[in-house]
Amino acid sequence: MNQPKHHLKSLPLSPGEVLDTSDPGDDMQRRLRYQSAYGVVLISAAVRQQKPYIALWCENHEDLLGEREDSLYDGYQIKTQKPERGAWQMLDDDLKKSIKRFVELDQKFPGKIHNFFFVSNANFSDSVSEKQVGRSPIHFLQEVQAKSSASDIPSAFQDTFDKLCKHCSCSADQLLQTLHKLYLVKGPSLDAYEAEIVQDHLSTLPDCEGQSVDVLKHICKNLIARIFEASSLMVDDPSRHWACVNGADVYKPELKAKRVSVESVRLSIREKLTSPFRLVPVSDTVHLGHTQQNVSVLEQKMRRGGIFEHFDTMQNRMLSAERHLLELVNRNPHQGNRTINHVSQVVQGVCSDADLEAGPERQDTYGFVKLREVHRRLREIATSRPDKVDHQEYECLMGIVGMLTNECKVWWSTKFYLETDV
Count of the separate structural domains present in the chain: 2
Closest CA to 408 of 316, 326, 296: 296
Q: Are 340 and 389 in contact (CB under 8 A)?
A: no
d(CA 150, CA 157): 11
Q: Kindly state whether residues 262 and 297 are assigned to the same domain.
A: no
Exposure pattern of 371-384 as b/e (b: 16+ CB <10 Å)? Answer: bebbbebbeebbee
Q: Kindly state whether residues 216 and 146 are assigned to the same domain.
A: yes
Q: Kindly state whether residues 385 and 267 are assigned to the same domain.
A: no
Q: Are 77 and 137 in contact (CB under 8 A)?
A: no
Residue 123 is predicted with a pLDDT of 95
Per-residue model confidence as pLDDT tens digits over 176-185 = 999 999 999 9
pLDDT band at 421 (very low <50, low <70, confident <90, very high): very low
Mean pLDDT rounded to a whole number for the chain: 87
**Is residue 303 in a domain?**
yes
Q: Kindly report which listed range (6-15, 253-262, 324-333) carries the lowest average pLDDT score.
A: 6-15
Judging by DSSP bridges, how do beta strands 62-68 and 53-60 pair with one another?
antiparallel
Of residues 363 and 168, more confidence is placed in: 168
d(CA 50, CA 53): 9
Domain boundary among 273, 306, 334: 273
**Is residue 283 in a domain?**
no
Per-residue model confidence as pLDDT tens digits over 300-309 = 999 999 999 9
At residue 271, φ and ψ (nearest 5 deg) are -65, -40
Please state, for a pLDDT cut of 70, what percent of the chain lies above it: 84
Q: Kindly state whether residues 228 and 331 are assigned to the same domain.
A: no
DSSP code for 176: H
d(CA 240, CA 146): 48
Q: Are 307 and 366 in contact (CB under 8 A)?
A: no
Q: Give me the mean pLDDT over the 102-111 stretch.
A: 96
Q: Kindly state whether residues 212 and 81 are assigned to the same domain.
A: yes
pLDDT band at 335 (very low <50, low <70, confident <90, very high): confident
pLDDT band at 422 (very low <50, low <70, confident <90, very high): very low
**Is residue 17 in a domain?**
no
pLDDT band at 82 (very low <50, low <70, confident <90, very high): confident
Q: Kindly state whether residues 332 and 240 are assigned to the same domain.
A: no
pLDDT band at 22 (very low <50, low <70, confident <90, very high): low
SS3 224: helix
**Is residue 199 in a domain?**
yes
d(CA 282, CA 301): 25
**Domain hosting residue 264, numbered range:** 25-273
Closest CA to 68 of 39, 44, 46, 36: 46
Q: Give me the mean pLDDT over the 49-71 stretch.
A: 95
Residues in the chain, how many? 422
Q: Give me the mean pLDDT over the 373-395 stretch.
A: 91
Q: Give me the mean pLDDT over the 232-249 stretch.
A: 66
Q: Quick one: 261 exposed, middle or buried, by C-beta within 10 A (0-12, 13-18, 19+)?
A: middle
Q: Give me the mean pLDDT over the 275-289 stretch.
A: 68
**Is residue 296 in a domain?**
yes
CA distances from 397 to 186, 271, 384 (A): 53, 22, 14
Residue 153 is predicted with a pLDDT of 93
Nearest 5°: CA angle at 386, between 219 and 353?
A: 130
Domain boundary among 242, 273, 304: 273
**Is residue 11 in a domain?**
no
Closest CA to 359 of 350, 369, 349: 369
* β-sheet bridge partners, residue 119: 78, 185
**Is residue 285 in a domain?**
no
Judging by DSSP bridges, how do beta strands 113-120 and 53-60 pair with one another?
unpaired
pLDDT band at 34 (very low <50, low <70, confident <90, very high): very high
Q: Between the ranges 76-85, 127-136, 161-170, where is the mean pLDDT highest?
A: 161-170
pLDDT band at 211 (very low <50, low <70, confident <90, very high): confident
Helices (H), 180-294: 193-200, 213-230, 253-256, 262-273
| pLDDT of 349 above 80 | yes
Judging by DSSP bridges, how do beta strands 73-79 and 113-120 pair with one another?
parallel
Residue 267 is predicted with a pLDDT of 87
d(CA 143, CA 147): 7
Q: Are 233 and 254 in contact (CB under 8 A)?
A: yes
| pLDDT of 186 above 90 | yes
Q: Kindly state whether residues 65 and 183 are assigned to the same domain.
A: yes
| pLDDT of 262 above 70 | yes
d(CA 37, CA 31): 10
Residue 288 is predicted with a pLDDT of 77
Q: Kindly state whether residues 191 and 333 are assigned to the same domain.
A: no
Q: Give me the mean pLDDT over the 380-400 stretch.
A: 90
Give the containing element (helix H, strand E) for 117. strand 113-120
Q: Kindly state whether residues 156 and 64 are assigned to the same domain.
A: yes
* Torsion sign across C-alpha atoms 161, 167, 171, 176: negative
Q: Are 64 and 57 in contact (CB under 8 A)?
A: yes
> Rg for the chain (alpha carbons), in Å?
32
Q: Kindly state whether residues 250 and 387 are assigned to the same domain.
A: no
d(CA 151, CA 96): 21
d(CA 161, CA 167): 10
| pLDDT of 158 above 80 | yes
Q: Give me the mean pLDDT over the 289-313 stretch.
A: 84
Q: Give me the mean pLDDT over the 251-261 stretch.
A: 84
| pLDDT of 385 above 60 | yes
Task: Compute how many other C-beta atoms are within 10 angstroms of the C-beta atom of residue 311.
Answer: 16
**Is residue 19 in a domain?**
no
Q: Kindly report which listed range (86-95, 202-211, 388-397) carries the lowest average pLDDT score.
A: 202-211
* β-sheet bridge partners, residue 53: 68
Q: Kindly state whether residues 249 and 339 are assigned to the same domain.
A: no
At residue 392, φ and ψ (nearest 5 deg) are -80, 145
Q: What region does 61 belong to: left with phi over 0, alpha with psi -120 to 50, or beta? A: left
Domain boundary among 273, 301, 325: 273
Q: Kindly state whether residues 36 and 103 are assigned to the same domain.
A: yes
Residue 233 is predicted with a pLDDT of 75
